[in-house]
Amino acid sequence: MNSTYKTCGLYREELKRITAVKGIEQLSGKTILLTGATGMIGTQLTDALMELNSRGAGINIVAVGRSETKARERLGEYFGAPLFRFVTQDVTEPFPASLSADYIIPLASFTHPMAYGRYPVETMAICLKGAEHALLLAERTGAAVLYPSTVEIYGEAADGEPFSENATGRLNLSTSRACYTEAKRASEALCQSFRSERGVRVKIGRLCRVFGPTVLAGDSKASSQFLHKALAGEDIVLKSAGEQIYSYIYTADAVGALLHIMLNGADGEAYNISNKACDVRLKDFVQTCAGVAGRRVVYDLPDEAERKGFSVATRAILDNSRLLATGWAPAYDFRDAVRRTIEIMRYK
């Protein structure tokens, strides 16, 4: 997928909506460093920040990623821009002493099940070392850290109720998939430890399942596969009966929520990021994708390799009332978000 989708009117409208977040003027003249800049969230976040710069915000953007080739595919239009800098960096290694920032957003992570199943050691290393090096850089430079965490830290709901930020859930450490959940939990603890012991300012956003037009081609999450199949005009395969119910959120809402937390959240606080209008069963997700694309749903059980990375949670709903109380609100309902995703991805 090339980046011409970024000229789509729907996508440009989303960037304007994201950049209308409360307190956005605080970013003028600041330096923001984000790792995982070529990922699904990192790409649209970079686009939103560059949209602000097109209106004179003067934000210095340091985008960090492991591959300049991939960065040129995803963010190539910004190479050479005076306020954009790409740094080729493996986040498991310390940042160079020359780097500085006012805000740090460590987004780098494996975020899909095939990666968890095949590379559990690397999954843990990227999360843990990525968080540590971001926090060390923040300590050295006085930057504030926005840590993007995940609904996965809650595991399975014991009582069927939505997860509040104080919930613990149930987690199974006997699977390779625990690499992601435990690394994220430990990274959150590391954030709180740096805040307590070393005075680093930290805010945490716990994202539910995110989908949208900046999805990567190799993303093996079920929602991503549904969208790719719909875009290709193919029937959509569901690897279960689809009774699982999860919180989802559209990428533009997720990016807007992260910026809102960074600018308006309380130091040391964690906030669930979700949209009640997107709390849906897996079968409803796939049926909506198929309906928008004019295709049908095919049910097919997964093989052993696929099951290794699958979530065992059958219900993972986030209570987002703490975030709503800060003045944030999502903009897109579920069907509109699916429609927008497919329309923007089709744009050439």
What is the C-alpha to C-alpha distance for residues 251 and 14, in angstroms, rounded to an integer?
10
Q: Where are the beta strands (DSSP E) in 56-155?
A: 60-65, 84-88, 103-106, 144-150
CB 179 within 8 A of CB 123: yes
User: For 271-291, how does the pLDDT look when each residue is reduced to its tens digit (9 = 90+)?
Assistant: 999 999 999 999 999 899 989
Helix/strand/coil for 252:
helix
pLDDT in tens, 147-171: 999 999 998 776 778 999 999 878 8
**What pLDDT, on a 0 to 100 scale, did the predictor assign at position 226?**
84
Average pLDDT over residues 255-273: 98
pLDDT beyond 70 at 310: no
Lowest mean pLDDT among 130-139, 270-279, 308-317: 308-317
Question: pLDDT grade, residue 95 (50/70/90)?
Answer: very high
What's residue 304's pLDDT? 61
Candidates 251, 118, 259; CA nearest to 179 is: 118
CA distance 187 to 314: 24
Residue 306 has pLDDT above 80, yes or no: no
**Phi/psi at 90 (nearest 5 deg)?**
-85, 120
If pLDDT is split at 50, 70 and 90, which confidence band does 307 have?
low
Query: Of 287, 317, 272, 283, nearest to 157 (Cα)?
Result: 317
Q: Identity (one letter) of the amino acid at 8?
A: C
Any residues with CB less than 8 A from the CB of 220 and at least 6 apart, and which?
112, 113, 114, 115, 309
Amino acid identity of 225? Q
The residue ranking higher by pLDDT, 144 or 5, is: 144
User: How many whole angstroms separate alpha carbon 313 and alpha carbon 178?
Assistant: 12
- Among the listed ranges 102-116, 179-193, 211-225, which one has the minimum average pLDDT value? 211-225
CA distance 84 to 322: 34
